[in-house]
A and B are shown apart, each in its own frame.
Chain A
Amino acid sequence: QQQVKQSPQSLIVQKGGIPIINCAYENTAFDYFPWYQQFPGKGPALLIAIRPDVSEKKEGRFTISFNKSAKQFSLHIMDSQPGDSATYFCAASTNDYKLSFGAGTTVTVRA
């Protein structure tokens, strides 16, 4: 049972575009929501994380938007570059630190 639902499965944007990845959850006990970036053959790398008491967080070109009432959160990649082409995972955990991951979104940024 997927505790975190992620969409779309894949998306393609032109350089400079803004890919948007959406995630939804049901477990209201989740209180930590990280995003990871994974390149082929590598482990996931932490990009940015948010807690439910914050509606938006920015780190560099990456922005998380969080809607607690809708139980949804999303990742925006501003001014996307070909080097951003990777698979992105949203995740969530409660205070047991057990991460539940979404199925992943493969982002392709065309030059």
Chain B
Amino acid sequence: DAGVTQSPTHLIKTRGQQVTLRCSPKSGHDTVSWYQQALGQGPQFIFQYYEEEERQRGNFPDRFSGHQFPNYSSELNVNALLLGDSALYLCASSRGNQETQYFGPGTRLLVL
């Protein structure tokens, strides 16, 4: 049973560029949440997708957007990258209205 997978594993971008990160949820899961983890800190909630719609959103600017596809996989898009966007981006999946979330390995984004 494959767990949560994310791609790419690492990414280097320059300020002002745009980036797309991808996530495939655990088998049987239909909900995907995205978190940003800065170095030495706990993950911060960005948003959550369920039934292809954004269900919850954290305190992140509109530069952060997402999408969920009919197969429940998801993308996180970040526009106009800033140096402060450098972080580990984590995807977590869960099943419907169950609170248990399982995390993927993350995508390490470095903005230069």
Contact = CB atoms under 8 A, between A and B. Distances in A.
Nearest to A90: B42
Contacts of B90: 43-44
Given A43-B103, A43-B104, A99 B56 contact: no
B45 A46 contact: no
Contacts of B4: 43
Interface residues of A, number: 24
Nearest to B97: A97
Contacts of A95: 99
Interface of A: 6, 32, 34, 36, 41-46, 49, 89, 91, 93, 95-104
Contacts of A46: 100-103
Contacts, number: 59
Contact of A89 (B31, B42, B97, B105): B42
A99 B102 contact: no
Contacts of B105: 41-43
Interface size grouping (class) on chain B: 20 to 34
Contact of B44 (A6, A97, A101): A101
A43 B106 CA distance: 6
Interface of B: 4, 31, 33, 35, 40-45, 48, 56, 58, 90, 92, 94, 97, 99-106
A50 B60 CA distance: 28
A98 B42 contact: no
A36 B100 contact: no
Please indicate which of the listed interface residues B58, B90, B99, B104 has the most CB atoms of chain A within 10 Å of its own CB. B99
A89 B41 CA distance: 10
A102 B106 CA distance: 18
A57 B103 CA distance: 22
Contacts of B56: 96-98
